[in-house]
Amino acid sequence: MLELFIVIIIFSSPFLILIITKRYFSYKTTIMAAYAKFKGLNNNNKITKLEEQTAMLSKRVAVLEEIVTSSHFELSNKIAKL
């Protein structure tokens, strides 16, 4: 009886190994696809945040340029030098 059990295990083990590896790789493929999708969404969010930040900074630079080039700023500098 033990010999029969050992023979069954010996002949069925390659099939079991094949089934386990197939399931593992299909699981890994599914996980990698989900990760790639998440990473793509995350990159899109980063891009939009960076675009918003760039727009805000360009507005601030425009305001600073306006302040520096105004005549009031030049007058303040002349007064400060005196």
58 pLDDT above the threshold of 70: yes
| Length of the chain (residues) | 82
27, with CB counted inside 10 A (0-12, 13-18, 19+), is: exposed
**The model's pTM:** 0.45
Reported as a pLDDT band with limits 50, 70 and 90, residue 32 is very high
73 pLDDT above the threshold of 80: no
Tell me the C-alpha to C-alpha distance, in Å, between residue 24 and each of 17, 21, 28, 43, 49. 10, 5, 6, 28, 37
Q: Report helix, strand or coil for 70.
A: coil
Q: What token pair was written down for 74? A: 């030049």
In the predicted model, what is the mean pLDDT of residues 16-36?
93
Reported as a pLDDT band with limits 50, 70 and 90, residue 44 is confident
